Amino acid sequence: MEPVGPHVRPASTADLPELADVAARTFPLACPPSAAQADIAAFIAEHLSQQRFAEYLTDPDRDVLVALDALDEGRITGYAMLVRGAPEDPDVARVVLARPALEVSKIYVLPERHGGGASAALIAQALTIARDTGCRSAWLGVNQQNARAQRFYAKHGFAVEGTKTFHLGAAVEKDYVLVRPL
What is the model's pTM?
A: 0.94
Mean pLDDT calculated for residue range 32-36: 89
Q: Which domain holds residue 174?
A: 7-181
Task: Count up the domains in the chain and report the number.
Answer: 1
Residues with Cβ within 8 Å of 14's Cβ and at least 6 positions away in sequence, in order, are none
Per-residue pLDDT, 91: 96
Give the containing element (helix H, strand E) for 145. none
Q: What is the CATH number of the domain that holds 30?
A: 3.40.630.30
Residues with Cβ within 8 Å of 177's Cβ and at least 6 positions away in sequence, in order, are 91, 92, 95, 96, 139, 140, 141, 160, 161, 162, 163, 164
Per-residue pLDDT, 40: 95
CA 51 to chain centre: 18
Per-residue pLDDT, 3: 52
The proportion of the chain whose per-residue pLDDT surpasses 70, expressed as a percent, equals 97
**167 in a structural domain:** yes
Name the pLDDT band for 5 (thresholds 50, 70, 90).
confident
**Nearest CA among 164, 182, 159, 161 for reference residue 174:** 164
Tell me how far apart the alpha carbons of residues 88 and 51 are, in angstroms, rounded to a whole number: 24
**Residue 53 predicted with pLDDT over 60:** yes
**1 in a structural domain:** no
User: pLDDT tens for residues 120-134?
Assistant: 999 999 999 999 999
**Residue 178 predicted with pLDDT over 80:** yes
User: pLDDT tens for residues 59-109?
Assistant: 999 999 999 987 767 899 999 999 999 999 999 999 999 999 999 999 999
